[in-house]
A = this chain, B = another copy of it.
Amino acid sequence: MKYSIGIDFGTGSGRVLIIDIKTGSIIGMSVIHFKNEKVKENLANVDVPYTFALQDPTEYIRVLKEGIPEAIKNAKIHKSQIVGLGIDATSASILLTDNQFKPLSEYQILKKEPHSYLKLWKHHGANKEAEKMLEVARNNKSRWLGNYGFNVNSEWMIPKVLELINHAPNIVKKAAHIMEVGDWLTSKLIEENVRSNCSRGFKTFWNEEEGFFYEYYKKVDSQLPKIINEKLEGRLVKIGEKAGHISTKMSTELGLPANLPIAPSIIDAHASLLGIGSTQKNELTMVMGTSTCHLMLHDEQKQIPGISGNVKDAIIPNLFAYEAGQSAVGDLFNHVANRAPKSYLDEAKNRKMHIYELLEEKASLKSPGQTGLIALDWHNGNRSILSDSKLRGVLIGETLNTKIEDIYKAYMEATAFGAKMIINNYEEWGMQIDKVFACGGIPQKNELLMQIYADILNRPIHVSASYYAPAIGAAILGSVAGREHETVVEAVHDMKQPISKTVHPISQNVKNYQKLFEIYKTIHDYYGLQSHDIMQQLDELTHQQN
């Protein structure tokens, strides 16, 4: 029996899975939750803007060091049975390292410097930089802008690099590499600076034929080309290839076989497509966790406004992968659940339920529209189709009779309406969608949510049985790197996880939600387009000195 290791690095934890490469069975696992105390402690008296989302990168190393041995032990296998290792990670989560891949935040003199830490995808400190980049791209009528949804999102990598140049030039100077966290981990394992085409293609202005768009970057900032050339370049490795072999030092440290083949890192949401087996065009997969990614494959390159990008070979060789996203989904449900009143917590405790289950149960008692609420789920900005991280949440229709579960339901509906906007947008720009998959941490757990999505999208939703689709996807790439499978598609065929259920729309609900969607579109366009300055002004006021 042969096994591949898939390691999924999410926003809050890392999961190491041992996967049977013939059946896709999970035979061992270890989940390590990131501790953020160290960053908080180090920066206790430092003025960190609330838009920042920082992490201690050594927590990722802890996932390797503790998680890998534990998962192998757990699987009761011998390490010699392991044939490959793949990594997926959040995208545009970046860090600076020295030439030994040691994070700069590990240097004593930089411990009190926010810019030396890992910046998560949801770090929103680069709004001004993203605006500048968009302005330059527009002024130059850059033909490739449409491949990035005609926008520049502050979450992407280059705005964050520019933020570093503007706010922490001395730290940039000290850095040998500025890296995606996934590339950093791969490079660390093989002790060589490699970069995957997946994140690079989506989160920087780059393509395989032309490389980085240096001419454009020069117009944005005169220092940028040099810094990109020195600190962002590296040997390119593509999805479906092998990045290299694990170093002797690392294999010893982690208890892995010598020379184990390592796959290039893939974006976590993208890995899910492999894990659930969506490798065809005309299928849309919603990867629902902290945030949601809406992924599609296609054989043509189309320019679609409001999506995050399209990249050739990023998931399946020879197909273009398209990504759109919603910035707050699980995070938003969590935000509401954290605010549940004491009586709800008591009830959940007495009935031995999780607070989410209780809220779901209560929310399901009202029919569509009965809460009288409608919301915009822009609590972490809007990634698609407005691509504006300054947008903020809206809740309309609350009365003195409104209960917390009503708000919970309104937000569930809001995320589904947001998904409908994305799907409509894909279709309006010429993509055909025949089938919708849902995977990620949430769809399995929340029945009501899947029903709401089926009703609002008015399509059956095929729910993946696995909570671990990204890690499976990473393991698939591990198996391909180890040459146990010839192609990604063949590995997917053997290792993909089953679909557990298909949720069908209920016609009366569909009718009610069609009415609500009309209202949703009105307020979506009001706050997102016509009166976009309302959110702009609110945002400015929060920053104003008093």
On A, residues with C-beta under 8 Å from B are 50, 328, 331-332, 335, 338-342, 345, 367-374, 379-380, 392-402, 404, 508-509, 512, 515-516, 519, 522-523, 526-527, 531, 534-535, 537-539, 541-542, 544, 546
Contact = CB atoms under 8 A, between A and B. Distances in A.
A390 B111 CA distance: 55
A214 to B, nearest CB: 36
Given A373-B538, A534-B519, A541-B370, A395 B392 contact: no
Contact of A519 (B367, B371, B401, B538): B538
A400 B393 CA distance: 9
Contacts of A367: 544, 546
A360 to B, nearest CB: 18
B339 A541 contact: no
Contacts of A379: 398-400, 402
Contacts of A537: 515, 519
B335 A338 contact: no
A519 B512 CA distance: 31
Contacts of A340: 341
B546 A328 contact: no
Contacts of A522: 531, 534
Nearest to A407: B339
Contact of A541 (B372, B396, B541, B542): B372
A396 B372 CA distance: 16
Nearest to A342: B342
Contacts of A328: 400
A399 B394 contact: no
18 contacts: A50-B401, A332-B400, A339-B341, A341-B341, A367-B544, A372-B538, A373-B538, A379-B398, A380-B399, A393-B398, A394-B398, A396-B535, A397-B535, A509-B546, A515-B537, A515-B541, A522-B534, A526-B531
A392 B400 contact: no
Contacts of A401: 50
B404 A398 contact: no
Contacts of A516: 541
Contact of A546 (B368, B395, B400): B368
A538 B404 contact: no
B397 A508 contact: no
B392 A394 contact: no
B400 A508 contact: no
A397 B328 CA distance: 14
A335 B339 CA distance: 13
A328 B402 CA distance: 14
